[in-house]
């Protein structure tokens, strides 16, 4: 059976599934329940200085699509609103009860060295395994000069990371904000500051919806609303791209990654790990389905690894990165076309409509023996995949390769490229 044990920058846990910094993770009772359910670790909800922050009552919004509840999730919640000392006592208690689980403490204090030095010493006394610097919160705290206000300035990221490495023996994980043009700026800054790892992504600035009766963004707080942080399954593609960019960046080599963003099942986790993450953090899925979702995640990942012959998580960590290339490195001679399985086709015509109206008019709508039939016009098909994605029947439309794979030409060599490299070079 595959070994799921994780050793993330010296932080050991029985599996790579960590419950992310969420409302349940600033109370001992909930963290204990999470560990009993099978979570390998937790990131304790972000601590700050006293007096604690004040959270509003109406704080969550959700985006549901086509019958899928909570496809996206939005929150305007801040960091823990419980006193620092109570959190520290409970962290110490939890770590004593579960010495084999990862307990990482998320921190956010003003951008002053003494503030960081003071809280680092307090957290270290709890026996926690590591700290996560919350440089990602996009609302409420950023207006106070913390959270993403730090994460968007690489110089600040490097400076605070260096303070934490100087004043603590604990591994330092830097949580990055996605609300930035290029994720590599703060990631490289974290590396220069001595970070042991980065975690990403934090939530994305967003307005979930507008209440058209009140004429205010949701969630509505007494007739008004504000922007919040977007997360959940809908952000997964954005998160994976940013994780992969860091994993393949030469300047970030040697810095571990904890993947965050829309992870809801074992397959999501496997995809993040294949793109370079060593652990994965889960929040929205646990809030939606409960702590026991980790059972399916761990069992599913283990079974998949067994089927692929991977003995441990490290065996496939980053395996997809060599195949994650820039567009200019793709093979322009690669040629695929759509094929429709007439036996499973339900004649709905969605493939034809999509192709006819918005693509390359390469699916013919025919009438044969009084019935409808849809056929691909191969000479017109560019292999865009659109028909395959809109088809409601799984595997009814597949893509078949036409070229023999013997010729590889990228944009760098293509004759249409005015800056092409000559073959002789």
Helix axes 113-124, 154-167, angle to 10 degrees: 40
CB atoms within 10 A of CB 337: 17
User: Residue 144's pLDDT is what?
Assistant: 75
The tens digit of pLDDT for each residue in 377-394 reads 999 999 999 999 999 999
Distance (Å, whole) CA 162 – CA 174: 11
Report the pLDDT averaged over residues 211-219. 96
Mean pLDDT to the nearest integer, 208-232: 95
Per-residue pLDDT reduced to its tens digit, 237-269: 999 999 999 999 999 999 999 999 999 999 999
**Per-residue model confidence (pLDDT) at position 421:** 67
Q: How far apart are CA 66 and CA 69, in angstroms?
A: 8
Write out pLDDT tens, residues 166-185: 999 999 999 999 999 999 99
Whether the pLDDT of residue 423 is over 90: the answer is no
Flag whether the pTM goes above 0.75. yes
Which percentage of the chain shows pLDDT scores above 70?
Answer: 98
Q: What is the mean pLDDT of residues 98-111?
A: 95
Determine the pLDDT at residue 140.
63
Per DSSP bridges, beta strands 197-200 and 216-217 are unpaired
What is the pLDDT averaged over residues 43-53?
93
* Mean pLDDT, rounded, of the chain: 94
Q: Go through the domains of the chain in sequence order and give each one's CATH number.
A: 6-323 (3.20.20.70), 327-401 (3.30.70.20)
137, 164, 351, 391: the active-site residue: 137
DSSP code per residue over 227-277: -EEEESGGGHHHHHHHHHHHHH-GGGTT-EEEEESS--SHHHHHHHHHTT-
The answer to whether the beta carbons of residues 292 and 286 sit under 8 Å apart is no
Q: What percent of the chain has a predicted confidence (pLDDT) above 90?
A: 88
137 is catalytic: yes
Omega of the bond leading into 269 within 30 degrees of 0 (cis): no
Confidence of residue 235 (pLDDT cuts 50, 70, 90): very high
pLDDT band at 424 (very low <50, low <70, confident <90, very high): very low
The pLDDT value given to residue 422? 60
- pLDDT of 25 > 80? The answer is no
The answer to whether residues 338 and 383 touch, using CB atoms and an 8 Å cutoff, is: yes
The pLDDT score that the predictor gives to residue 243 is 98
């Amino acid at each position: 059976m595959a070994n799921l044990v994780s050793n993330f920058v010296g932080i050991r846990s029985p599996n790579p599934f960590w419950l992310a910094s969420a409302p349940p993770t600033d109370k001992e009772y909930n963290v204990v329940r999470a560990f009993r359910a099978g979570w390998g670790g937790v990131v304790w909800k972000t601590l700050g200085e006293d007096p604690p922050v004040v959270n509003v009552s109406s704080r969550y919004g959700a985006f549901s699509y086509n019958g899928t509840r909570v496809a996206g999730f939005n929150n305007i919640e801040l960091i823990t609103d419980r006193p620092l000392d109570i959190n520290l006592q409970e962290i110490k208690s939890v770590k004593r009860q579960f010495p084999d689980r990862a307990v990482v403490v998320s921190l956010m204090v003003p951008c002053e060295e003494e503030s960081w030095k003071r809280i680092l010493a307090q957290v270290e006394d709890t026996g926690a395994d590591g700290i996560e610097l919350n440089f990602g919160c996009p609302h409420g705290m950023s207006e106070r000069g913390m959270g993403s206000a730090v994460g968007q300035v690489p110089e600040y990221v490097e400076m605070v990371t260096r303070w934490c490495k100087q004043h603590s023996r604990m591994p330092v994980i830097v949580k990055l904000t996605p609300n930035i043009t290029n994720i590599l700026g703060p990631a490289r800054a974290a590396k220069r500051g001595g970070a042991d790892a980065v975690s990403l992504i934090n939530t994305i600035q967003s307005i979930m919806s507008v209440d058209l009766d009140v004429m205010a963004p949701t969630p509505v707080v007494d007739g008004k609303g504000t922007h919040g942080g977007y997360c959940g399954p809908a952000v997964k593609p954005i998160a994976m791209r940013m994780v992969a960019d860091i994993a393949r960046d030469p300047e970030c080599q040697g810095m571990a990654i904890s993947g965050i963003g829309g992870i809801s099942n074992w397959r999501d986790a496997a995809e993040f790990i294949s793109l370079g993450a060593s652990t994965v953090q889960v929040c929205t899925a646990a809030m939606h389905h409960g702590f026991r979702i980790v059972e399916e995640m761990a069992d599913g990942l283990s079974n998949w690894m067994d089927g692929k012959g991977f003995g441990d998580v490290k065996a496939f960590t980053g395996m997809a990165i060599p195949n994650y290339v820039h567009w200019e490195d793709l093979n322009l001679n690669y040629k695929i076309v759509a094929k429709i399985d007439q036996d499973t086709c339900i004649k709905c015509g969605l493939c034809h409509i999509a192709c006819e109206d918005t693509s390359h008019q390469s699916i013919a709508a025919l009438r044969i023996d009084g019935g409808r039939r849809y056929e691909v016009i191969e000479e017109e098909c560019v292999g865009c995949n659109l028909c395959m994605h809109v088809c409601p029947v799984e595997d009814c439309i597949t893509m078949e390769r036409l070229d023999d794979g013997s010729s590889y030409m990228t944009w760098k060599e293509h004759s249409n490229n005015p800056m092409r490299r000559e073959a002789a070079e």
